[in-house]
């Protein structure tokens, strides 16, 4: 499983407007095409002008296929036009799960 954390930094005060527009005309299309939205989060500390999405995908190939479909979707393109002026920066981090304790111990024993 691949986890993606996408962090969007907004203009000061822009998070509320972005979330309003997203919920009205972006969320349904994005979730339909990307699949598993684990969480959409707003920081309680640090840079408060951010919105963090946590997505889960079966594989890198699954993510690539779904993102290609999203970028080709005209409804999502319309949403992106509406929020473009609110965005300052975007960061994407792809993560994999760390080994479970039992799996790590089994792996260490087989390496000896």
Span 75-82, average pLDDT: 96
Query: pLDDT digits over 26-57, tens only?
Result: 999 999 999 999 999 999 999 999 999 999 99
How many C-beta atoms lie closer than 10 Å to residue 71's C-beta?
Answer: 11
Query: pLDDT digits over 95-109, tens only?
Result: 998 988 875 556 665
Q: Per-residue pLDDT for 12 more than 80?
A: yes
């Amino acid at each position: 499983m691949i986890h993606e954390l996408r962090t969007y930094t907004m203009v000061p005060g822009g998070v509320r407007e972005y979330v309003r527009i997203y919920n009205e005309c972006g969320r349904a299309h994005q979730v339909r095409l990307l699949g598993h939205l684990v969480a959409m989060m707003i920081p309680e500390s640090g840079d408060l002008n951010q919105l963090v999405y946590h997505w889960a995908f079966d594989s890198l190939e699954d993510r690539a296929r779904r993102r290609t479909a999203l970028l080709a979707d005209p409804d999502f393109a319309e949403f992106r036009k509406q929020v473009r002026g609110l965005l300052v920066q975007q960061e994407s981090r792809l993560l994999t799960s760390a080994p479970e304790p039992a799996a790590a111990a089994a792996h260490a024993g087989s390496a000896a």
